Amino acid sequence: MGWCYLVRGNRTAPTLIDLPTQPGSRVYKVNRKTQLFFGPPLALLTEGETNTMEISGRVNRTAERYLEILRFHGLTLNDAERACLIQLCGIGFMSPEDIRDLPDEVRFSEFDDSRLDQDAKEALATRLEAASFADLVATVEALGF
């Protein structure tokens, strides 16, 4: 018996189970002692929490919700649009402000691809402007940034 993260279909839950698992399930062993650097965002998220289990619970709940956002949001991109955004996101760390600025970055970029002319760049910028922040974040994450 051991604590594992059991995934069945669309439902996930920490579960005490016998290994190996039942058919149709995926199991992720819980790493009980992972050191984690608490930068400013995590420090703000867990502000006021004093108990290690409360902090761990808050971080895990937030991560689970974030993964659901990534699962249900994002824009469908063609190859040229994807290549343009990859070039723009290639600066490295994408802050929330950088992500919000993507429509303007697309408009003013010097990205050169015959499949993405100025009209297509403007159409992509318009789609990015109309997208929710969750869609923008999921798109940037799907590109690997």
- Selected residue with higher pLDDT from 91 and 15: 91
Span 63-69, average pLDDT:
94
pLDDT in tens, 1-39: 444 444 555 555 554 445 545 556 666 666 666 777 888
As a whole-number percent, the residues of the chain with pLDDT over 70 amount to 77
Q: Which of 90, 80, 93, 76 is nearest to 121 (CA)?
A: 80
